[in-house]
Amino acid sequence: MSATMLQVAEDLHAFPGAKHLPPTYKDLISNLPALPEAEASDGSIPIIDLEALHGPRRPEIVKQLGQACQLQGFFAVKNHGIPRPTVDSIFDTTREFFHQPKEERMKFYTPDPNSDIRLMNAYKDEVANVYVARESLKFHCHPVEKYVNKWPTNPPSFRKSAAEYLTNVRRVEITLFGAISESLGLETDYIEKKLGGHYVSLNYYGACEQSNLELTYGVRAHTDPTIITILLQDEVPGLQALSEGKWMDVNPIPDTVVVHVGDLLQAISNHRFKSLLHQAMVNCEKERMSIASYCYPSSDAMIGPPEKLIDSDHPAVYKDFTFKEFSEQMWKVIAFDDARLNSFKCSAA
């Protein structure tokens, strides 16, 4: 397996069923999309008021959320209830962790993708001649009490800061899943009942040399193999999303989180919602940080469109499959995008 393929394999989320599978690979680099330069978003990012979901405006907000999932594949969430000191603390902690000496950070490096916690280093892709600049610490985090003792103790604030932030994000996640379910005409707890664990990535993008900027990516284009991903950005721009065939800058909006539609929600919605192709860029002036929370089902959860979303005008795009089957297939043939779902398409789709 080439170094390029190894890095791609390691950058996937830790899913059950991967440990004993012999993976095979496609020519991943040639499949990367060749797309135009990013355009400014001009405030066109849908903004969902989470607090309003708890009042008389709920039907209106649910409709807005459903339209955002269907038309854009992502949205920002304001009034999410995560305290500002909690946000500041998780960013301070992330910065302190990645500013530590390399030998301290490397205590969490492992080639095992099933490890409960693992460090990912930046690397040079010799085949594509690009430098992928993201460093990240990825770990399981739900329930917190099950995993907290495996998290770093340096910096000393790590466990407390991470636990506080991730407990708050889980609350946001549950609220969003209720509204997303309703936007599809399903029972409020339809998606929540499928939930399993929660996986987080603390991401650090160092400032790069100006001379290397054209050859440096934070993260290359991909969709997430999740139900949704909740992303907390600092004030430094970098996230880009594919919208109507163009890369759009998703610039940070103060006091919001960004939510992406993942591959599994695409399947559950019978392709009404489209998983978001996105990437992260770096700049040569400032370091950048983000906190990505990946929401995924339990291993035996059945994924695929419910009967309520299937009729003569909307035939089933995907057949029923379990999350375990999805994760096993994902590791057999690694892809960057929703091609992960191709094995589960109905023959007529």
Which structural domains are found in the chain, ordered by start? Answer: 43-344 (2.60.120.330)
Looking at residue 14, its pLDDT comes to: 46
What does the DSSP assignment read for 178-245? HHHHHHTT--TTTTGGGEEEEEEEEEEE----GGGGGGEESEEEE--SSSEEEEEE-SS--EEEEETT
Looking at residue 210, its pLDDT comes to: 53
Looking at residue 23, its pLDDT comes to: 42
**Element of type H or E holding 153:** none
Asked whether the whole model's pTM tops 0.85, one would answer yes
Looking at residue 215, its pLDDT comes to: 54
Give 10-residue mean pLDDT values along the chain (349 residues). Answer: 37 46 40 50 81 97 98 96 98 97 94 90 70 87 94 97 97 97 97 91 82 61 94 94 88 96 97 94 84 94 95 94 92 84 83
What is the C-alpha separation between 219 and 118, in angstroms, rounded?
Answer: 17
